[in-house]
Amino acid sequence: MNDEDVLSALRAGQGRLTPVGVAEVLSGLVGELSCLRIIFYFKRAFPSIPLRVLIETGAWSRVGEGHLSDEQFNDMLKPWL
């Protein structure tokens, strides 16, 4: 699967999936999630998300030892997804 296919799949989730759900789609397509993968793909799929917000999602507990819960991750990205 190429990057454009991944981006199309992520965009298809906009408005019908939570941000966590979109991240789960990403994981299913590219493998293990990381902060860098979320920033790279989410910024390309949803360019209106401020880069600062995407960087802050690196504190999500699913991509590292951060403190953000799934609910907090959703709240951070909900305005754009």
Each residue's pLDDT tens digit, 13-22: 999 999 999 9
What is the DSSP code string of 5-30?
HHHHHHHHHTTTS-HHHHHHHHHHHH
- pTM to 2 decimals? 0.93
Each residue's pLDDT tens digit, 24-73: 999 999 999 999 999 999 999 999 999 999 999 999 999 988 899 999 99
Question: Where exactly are the structural domains of the chain?
Answer: 3-77
